[in-house]
Amino acid sequence: MAEYAHLKWPDVAEMDKNNSVAIVPLGATEEHGHHLPLDVDTEIATNICREAAKQTGMDVVLPAIPFGFESHHMGFPGTIDIPSNVLIEFGRAVTASLAQHGFRHIILVNGHGSNRPVIDLVARNTIVDFPDTLCSSISWWELKKVRDAAAGLLSEEPTSHGCDLETSVYMFLHPDRVDMKKARADGLDSISPHFWNDLLGRRPEGYANPAKMMEIWHTMTESGVRGDPRTSTADKGKIIFKAAATELAELLNEFRERKPRKPIGPVMPEK
């Protein structure tokens, strides 16, 4: 595993970039209740990326992008907002730089819910701009091993923000930064059959497929939390973290074997 920022420029020039995946963690600087610090999303995504790259031994982890799309969170002091259009162009500039340096596999690993449409657009546009480069994206909680590990382990309340899921993983990484005496459940009275969200994709009983909508955050929660972190533990976080790193390493190995297919002209109808 290599930390991109610790390399010398000749190291990058000599790297086998056809077989090294460039991993870009994306996070946020935002409230996560009274019990967690502002860097939750960035720290979780970055550490999962580092651990996965250690397991493959072939990939390079870039410095995390620590700010996300936060316009709806600005009611909470401490939040840093990058407007979505700016963040998309910023992400495209990062991936364009990597592509121009010869990296043929780039993955965006996300830790902040509202970055999901952003990373999708960055990845799609990167391939359009650089057809000889593949760019993919995923949020760490979407990994199947994470969802399997979390089944029956976490509280039944939705996993959303500062919840049992995020709190447990952050407790495993940085127990000294968590004040569980201030943990509280919040934001649970704003869900209904077509307006709900669970990071792990768990569906409340009797609920339908959700419509996508993001209300102004402080209208839904007083503390910044959406979920119930009170039963969080570092032991639960360790299980989930290891599951995430293991599957991300598997994804990296699979991704590395996938070669770009350069388009040749427009598709013409058969005669």
Domains of the chain as residue ranges with CATH: 2-256 (3.40.50.10310)
Query: Tens digits of per-residue pLDDT, 67-91?
Result: 999 999 999 999 999 999 999 999 9
What the block records as the tokens of 134 is 């593949």
pLDDT of residue 267: 80
* pLDDT mean over 183-192: 94
Percent of the chain at pLDDT exceeding 70: 100
**HEC per residue, the chain:** CEEHHHCCHHHHHHCCCCCCCEEEEECCCCCECCCECCCHHHHHHHHHHHHHHHHHCCCEECCCECCECCHHHCCCCCCCECCHHHHHHHHHHHHHHHHHCCCCEEEEEECCHHHHHHHHHHHHHHHHHCCCCEEEEEEHHHCHHHHHHHCCCCCCCCCCECCHHHHHHHHHHCHHHCCHHHCCCECHHHCECCECCCCCCCCCCCCCCCCCCCCCHHHCCCCCCEECCCCCCHHHHHHHHHHHHHHHHHHHHHHHCCCCCCCCCCCCCCC
Confidence of residue 271 (pLDDT cuts 50, 70, 90): confident
pLDDT of residue 51: 98
Q: pTM score, two decimals? A: 0.96
Task: With CA atoms as reference, report the closest residue to 189 among 227, 152, 138, 245.
Answer: 227
